[in-house]
A and B are shown apart, each in its own frame.
Chain A
């Protein structure tokens, strides 16, 4: 049976992990590659790097990070942030990323989705959607890191990105993000039921139970979290054991490279 994926996400600025991370066993807890290798070792299923580097000149630090990750980490990883053209996508994929995620650039120029899907295959084009449930109950798409309103309906946009060739949707709720109070279940379910491709729930993870709910009630195919893993309060295998106990199909076996090779 296909398992539900547990995805760890880091924000990276100028090649450094942004949010505070308190793993004692790391030589350099700010190095995204060290952290990626540790998460792989701890049994995470997939990784996402969101690059928030402001200046375009510093983008080569991202390429370096992607290359070093591909040297050490043998699980899938996605890179997002600052990708605006299909050549930007090519650079990330050739450097070793398995998928690229696009958000604002896809809203500004939706053809970018089909260009990427045509050139590299849908399986490596992830469209990230930041959405907010408004007081009137409508679900609206936001861009520019959640700062700019688009007036677009999240479900309609999700359908459109899939028609244009997105292979996966990473859905972040602006309402729940950062609160560790649970994912936005109605939003996740509305989007997941509307599209044929896998949906990653993001925003609001505070416990294994939240992840179970995102899958059972939100019908997500994967759950993404950052803070709860980074602070070490929720070890990945502990979260996985709890999810499995709740009846979710989970990849439980994971072996050390040195033991198996």
Chain B
């Protein structure tokens, strides 16, 4: 069953040419929302929730966001504490700087560096890994601590402030699996590829903001 109150939310999935958009859109639809795909900065004005998906490299992501004129609008949107969900590259793009393929400045809304996973294990870190919840969070409502989620990445977020850390996974080091700050949340794993518990992440995030949006009965 999906949450009927979610249908009233203006969910925007940002398209900056980064693939896997369809999976994210279908996952959001599956939990009962009606997402729109947009790449115009103006789309952020009316949005009740913005989702930034993505795979690939940070440099390409930032290049595409800049060409679309999205960098400042995203920073302002997040600074206003409006609901924002980043997925995979959509988490890494929030950091201060990425070391992937050189030093690349990112959106700098969460202080931290995107660094290479340590050698000694297969890279990319690919597959279902156990996610440890580091705090009580409505993002993980109904999801058992230690449930597995699907990861695919070679770099990870090394956060400057542990207060932003919501969940971790282990791959040679403690890897940031989810961050949360106010109405901003982001995951390194792909909830749209993590089965029922993955979809529950989308539902939880959207439900939190359906209530705040006054859309709930």
C-alpha spacing A1/B168, complex, angstroms: 11
Contact of A45 among B30, B127, B154 (CB under 8 A): B127
For A197, the chain B residues whose CB sits under 8 A away are: 122-124
Contacts A74-B194, A75-B193 given; indicate if A257 touches B199 (C-beta within 8 A): yes
Q: Report whether over half of chain B's contact residues are helix, strand or loop; otherwise say mixed.
A: mixed
Residue of B nearest to A76 (CB): B193
Contact of B129 among A1, A70, A74 (CB under 8 A): A1
Contact of B196 among A5, A76, A95, A256 (CB under 8 A): A256
Contact of B193 among A98, A120, A222 (CB under 8 A): A98
For A45, the chain B residues whose CB sits under 8 A away are: 127-128
A258, B122: Cβ atoms closer than 8 Å: no
9-residue interface stretch from A80-88, A144-152, A210-218, A247-255: A247-255
A71, B193: Cβ atoms closer than 8 Å: no
Contact with B along A57-87 (1 / 0, CB 8 A): 0000000000100110011100000000000
B193, A74: Cβ atoms closer than 8 Å: yes
For B143, the chain A residues whose CB sits under 8 A away are: 260
9-residue interface stretch from B17-25, B35-43, B78-86, B209-217: B17-25
Contact with B along A89-117 (1 / 0, CB 8 A): 00001111010000000000000000000
Contacts A197-B122, A255-B195 given; indicate if A94 touches B22 (C-beta within 8 A): yes
A196 on the B face (CB < 8 A): yes
B150 on the A face (CB < 8 A): yes
9-residue interface stretch from A24-32, A48-56, A121-129, A226-234: A121-129
Contact of B200 among A2, A94, A260 (CB under 8 A): A260
Contact with B along A174-218 (1 / 0, CB 8 A): 000000000000000000000011100000000000000000000
A167 on the B face (CB < 8 A): yes
A261, B199: Cβ atoms closer than 8 Å: yes
For B170, the chain A residues whose CB sits under 8 A away are: 1
Interface size grouping (class) on chain B: 35 or more
> Which among B3, B19, B200 has the highest number of chain A CB atoms within 10 Å?
B19
B197 on the A face (CB < 8 A): yes
Contact with A along B151-166 (1 / 0, CB 8 A): 1111000000000000
B124, A261: Cβ atoms closer than 8 Å: no
B135 on the A face (CB < 8 A): no
For A258, the chain B residues whose CB sits under 8 A away are: 1
Residue of B nearest to A93 (CB): B19
Contacts A120-B19, A121-B55, A255-B196 given; indicate if A261 touches B129 (C-beta within 8 A): no
B128, A261: Cβ atoms closer than 8 Å: no
B7 smallest CB distance to A (angstroms): 14
A221, B127: Cβ atoms closer than 8 Å: yes
A74, B22: Cβ atoms closer than 8 Å: no
Apart from A4-B127, A75-B194, A256-B196, list 14 A-B contacts with CB within 8 A: A1-B170, A2-B127, A71-B26, A74-B198, A75-B195, A76-B152, A98-B193, A121-B19, A124-B19, A167-B126, A198-B126, A254-B195, A257-B196, A260-B199
- Which 9 residue pairs of A and B lie closest in terms of their CB atoms, listed nearest first? A260-B196, A255-B196, A121-B56, A251-B148, A251-B128, A96-B22, A123-B152, A2-B129, A257-B196
Interface, chain A (partner B; CB < 8 A): 1-5, 40, 45, 67, 70-71, 74-76, 93-96, 98, 120-124, 167-168, 196-198, 221-222, 251, 253-261
Interface, chain B (partner A; CB < 8 A): 1-3, 19-23, 26-27, 30-31, 55-57, 121-130, 142-144, 147-148, 150-154, 170-171, 190, 192-200, 203
A-B contact pairs, 30 of them (CB 8 A): A1-B130, A2-B121, A2-B128, A3-B128, A4-B127, A45-B128, A74-B27, A74-B194, A74-B196, A75-B195, A76-B150, A76-B193, A98-B23, A120-B56, A123-B153, A123-B154, A124-B19, A167-B124, A167-B126, A196-B122, A197-B122, A198-B124, A253-B147, A255-B196, A257-B30, A257-B199, A260-B199, A261-B2, A261-B31, A261-B203
